[in-house]
Amino acid sequence: MSSVNRTIVSPLQLSSRWGRRIYWATVVFMVVLFTAVFVFPLYWMVTGALKSGEEFAKVPPTYFPSSFNFQSYKDAWNLMNLDRYLVNTIYYAGGAWAFSLGFDVAAAYALSKLRPVFGNVVLFMMLSTLMIPPLVILLPAYLTIKDVPIVHLDLQNSPWALWLPAVANGFSIFLLKRFFDSIPTDLLEAAQLDGASAFRILWSIILPISRPILGVVSIFTVVAVWKDYAWPLITLSDPDKMTISVGLVHSSANMPQTTLTAGLVIASVPTILVFFLFQRHIMAGLTAGSLKG
Amino acid sequence: MTVLQKNDFRPVPEVVERKPRKGGRKVRDNLTAYGFLSGALICFALFSWYPMIREIILSFQENNFVDPPVWVGTQNYTDVFQDSAFAPAWKNTAMFTLLALLCGYIIPFVIALVLNELRHARGYLRFVVYLPVMLPPAVSVLLFKWFYDPGPGLFNQILDLFHLPTLAWLDSTDTALISLVIVSTWMNLGSGTLIYLAALQSVPPELYEAAELDGAGIFRRIWHVTIPQTRLILLVMLLIQIIATMQVFIEPMLLTGGGPEDATVSVVYLMYQYAFNFGNYGGGSALGVMLMLVLLVFSAAYLRISREEK
């Protein structure tokens, strides 16, 4: 038993009198430190926006609002167009999710199980995009949106400007292909002998057993759309089309700091909520992507 | 993210040997497979592969997208090179990367080491450290902008509370860059910590026992067992961190606008300004190509190391 949980510090050292003292001191220290560094700023944000204008500017500040004042939250919601931005972002994230899952699952399936000629070259090219971060090719990628090659469409201020680039994600391809590789081929060959088409095999055999990885990829895709700033800033510049991150900055210009702070709280609620709900998946996905292999 | 490991490109040996098929069938199978691939292929081509090539082409052209483009040789590069913001941009990016590595690479590892020893409050600590990662970066950055406010801002209030001299934070050339590093570290620390934590859990306990029997103290156990055992993940994270921090953009964009006196202008921010403030896509692309080359050096080094590993 002891060797199962064994880490750097030995259980013997831990169970000694001083070991226990140091251990508990470390636990308390870490809890206090982490709360101060990671939770307190959020507390300051939420309560700051509850303060009245005068209390907000007071020096030294009050640590707890003397009375709850929801006016800033109301102002942020009404004056900063947050409802519009939130609806936009949900729409963009939903579309990005559907397209990237549809196309990337199909592609990873083809690369893992159908194995066409030059499949490995395609895989290499897709994975090597991970070495070139999207910001480095921001300008030429924007030019693609402005005037899509061959078909000459202008996708600026259209949801396609976020939906299609979301598909070109080497990390999703990597995670999905890796998972599909672990599905035994004999299972699929049996279905093939029964005359199942490639699509049918993907739909009825692969997808049902791939739920965990599909969950991970879904969350990452949606959160990425929610968090992105530079790309929606240049491709969706019409104030009616902005995402929450871009819109927040856009409409913060002439706002009092209390209202802006309330806006920050409102903008962070959705992702924090996602984190509360899918904490396990997110953490599992984080380590799955980086550790295996 | 150990994406470019050799193994990934080796075909998985098939369990059942395929029977030789007629040519027609084979072509049809390939067509089906490329049918499945087509959506992703088009998107990758439009938004990753073509832009990479096009950036190189644009960097040698003068192009206003109305008249036909003119080839100007290395003119864009020399122009960018002579820009007074060019040297500061690279210096700041290098400095930012270095400082962000010092904070954002070492601190998460130390935190993970400590967390891995704890048997209590671990769920809470893990949750809390990842919380800022879930916030949209625009929110974190604007939040810290308010904290940095030299008057009623939180940071100066805290300094004041402890009777320490207050700082000008973003307004001074001395502290502006480090202020950006602090925000960046705060909002990105969590992912590294959790990845290291998972890596630490895979270290075989017998090794620690053996080291202890050999009389190794705690620090020697870390140095001789933990670090060698997690070497690969440490290496991968180093590369990921470098690639991520070299493209610092949102912090200078929203906090300082590159100021004061170019103290926080970064390469990507300068590139953005070239294209979207001055309409100079040639110059912007030249900067993009330079950054691509630098990142390529790191990627090549990483590939080399991970190959030697095997």
- A223-236: pLDDT as tens digits: 889 999 999 999 99
Q: Do A130 and B3 touch (CB under 8 A)?
A: yes
Over the stretch B85-128, which tens digit does the pLDDT of each residue have? 999 999 999 999 999 988 888 899 999 999 988 888 888 999 99
In a domain, B83, yes or no: yes
In a domain, B55, yes or no: no
In a domain, B68, yes or no: no
Q: Tell whether B114 lies on the interface with A, counting CB pairs under 8 A.
A: yes
Please report, for the domain that includes residue B256, its CATH number.
1.10.3720.10
Say if residue A11's pLDDT is above 80: no
Residues of chain B with C-beta less than 8 angstroms from the C-beta of A38:
128-129, 131-132, 186
Q: Tell whether B207 lies on the interface with A, counting CB pairs under 8 A.
A: no
Q: What is the pLDDT of residue A288?
A: 65
> Can you tell me the mean pLDDT for A185-202?
85
Among candidates A132, A167, A198 on the partner chain, residue whose Cβ is nearest the Cβ of B39? A167
Q: Do B1 and A171 touch (CB under 8 A)?
A: yes
> Can you tell me the mean pLDDT for A127-150?
89
pLDDT top residue among A211 and B21: A211
In a domain, B183, yes or no: yes
Domain holding B301, by residue range, is: 77-309
Mean of the per-residue pLDDT values for chain A?
87
Question: What amino acid occupies position B266?
Answer: S
Q: What is the pLDDT of residue B307?
A: 74
Task: Indicate whether this model's pTM tops 0.90.
Answer: no
Cβ atoms A148, B70 nearer than 8 A: no
Q: What is the pLDDT of residue A93?
A: 95
In a domain, B13, yes or no: no
Q: How many domains does chain B have?
A: 1
The DSSP H or E segment spanning B50 is helix B50-59
Over the stretch A223-274, which tens digit does the pLDDT of each residue have? 889 999 999 999 999 999 999 999 999 988 888 888 999 999 999 998 899 8
Q: What is the pLDDT of residue A130?
A: 84
Q: What is the pLDDT of residue A291?
A: 45
Among candidates B208, B281, B299 on the partner chain, residue whose Cβ is nearest the Cβ of A8? B208
In a domain, B12, yes or no: no
Evaluated on CA atoms B131, B132, B138, B139, the torsion sign reads: positive
Token output for B196: 């290291």
Per-residue pLDDT band for A88 (boundaries 50, 70, 90) equals very high
CA distance A127 to A116: 17
Residues of chain A with C-beta less than 8 angstroms from the C-beta of B52:
132, 137, 140
In a domain, B292, yes or no: yes
Say if residue A2's pLDDT is above 80: no
In a domain, B114, yes or no: yes
Reported ipTM: the value is: 0.88
Cα–Cα distances in Å, from A28 out to A33, B80, B159? Answer: 8, 53, 24
- DSSP H helices, A52-155, are 53-56, 71-79, 82-109, 119-128, 138-146
Cβ atoms A93, A222 nearer than 8 A: yes
DSSP string, A275-291: HHHHHHHHHHHHHHHHH
pLDDT averaged over 10-residue windows placed end to end, chain B, 310 residues: 43 49 73 92 94 93 81 89 91 93 89 89 90 93 91 85 84 88 92 88 84 83 87 84 88 88 91 91 93 88 72
Most confident of A5-14, A98-107, B108-117, B144-153: A98-107
Q: What is the pLDDT of residue A5?
A: 63
Q: What is the pLDDT of residue A141?
A: 94
CA distance A39 to A176: 34
